[in-house]
Amino acid sequence: MANGRQATAKRMKMAERSKQQMELHFSGFPPCFLWHRKTNDGFTTVPRTLPIIMQAIDAQSKGQPAGHTLFCLWARSPDNPVIVIENQVTFAAEAGFIGERAVDTWRKRMKTLRELFMLQTKPGPSGEFHYILLVNPNAALECMRFRGLVQDSIYARFVDRLMEVGAYGEIEAIREFRAAQKAAADAAAARDAAAPATVPSASAVA
């Protein structure tokens, strides 16, 4: 598996290759029509695995797909996991919901995302979904997989993409976290089982 340094080197090679391909195939294209992450405003950072994660979400919310709703939240993210939603109508419209029931439909999608551990919520002035904590979707999808909520074909493509972008260590960290939790729970259960039974006092049974 690629570590952080190897992933950075790979990205640099990809960027250099892209630059060479640009000069070869699109030389002279007007720069004003191009996006450059370090120079253009109004852009955010999103996980490269997000398209596959959206598919996994939609597969678990058939008839009420919530993947695009998650994408809209990431598009609003200020490169920070916390979003404050002051106007739910705006977020509902950006997610593609219009009409009298737009906000209600959006809220249902938000509940689905929360159930799938893609986000956490706290109530505030605008209602139940005022404060949003965006969970790392790579970690969230690994949790979905643990719960049996991700199809094998989608998960295989997800893992391939993680390794491709050098992010496989993120789900390894989730597995280690789960293993540590289980070990702690097993140790606590063993201690409880080994503890001597408490004999009730005479006053307690009188």
What are the pLDDT digits (tens) for 25-48? 989 888 889 888 778 888 888 999
The CATH class, in words, for 51-164 is mainly alpha
**With 60 as the cut, is the pLDDT of residue 180 above it?**
yes
At 91 the pLDDT is 97
What average pLDDT does the chain have?
Answer: 89
At 89 the pLDDT is 96
SS3 content of the chain, % helix, strand, coil (to 5): 60, 10, 35
Confidence band of 6 (pLDDT split at 50, 70, 90): low
Residue 148 vs residue 80, higher pLDDT? 148
The arithmetic mean of pLDDT across residues 165-181, rounded, is 93
What are the distances in angstroms from CA 188 to CA 55, 174, 191, 199, 200? 39, 21, 5, 21, 23
Cα(13)–Cα(22) distance, integer angstroms: 14
**With 90 as the cut, is the pLDDT of residue 62 above it?**
no
Q: What percent of the chain has pLDDT over 70?
A: 89
* Strand intervals (E) in 41-113: 82-84
Q: What percent of the chain has pLDDT over 90?
A: 66
Say what angle helices 102-115 and 67-76 make with each other, to 10 degrees.
90
Confidence band of 65 (pLDDT split at 50, 70, 90): very high
Q: Which two tokens stand for residue 86?
A: 């002051």
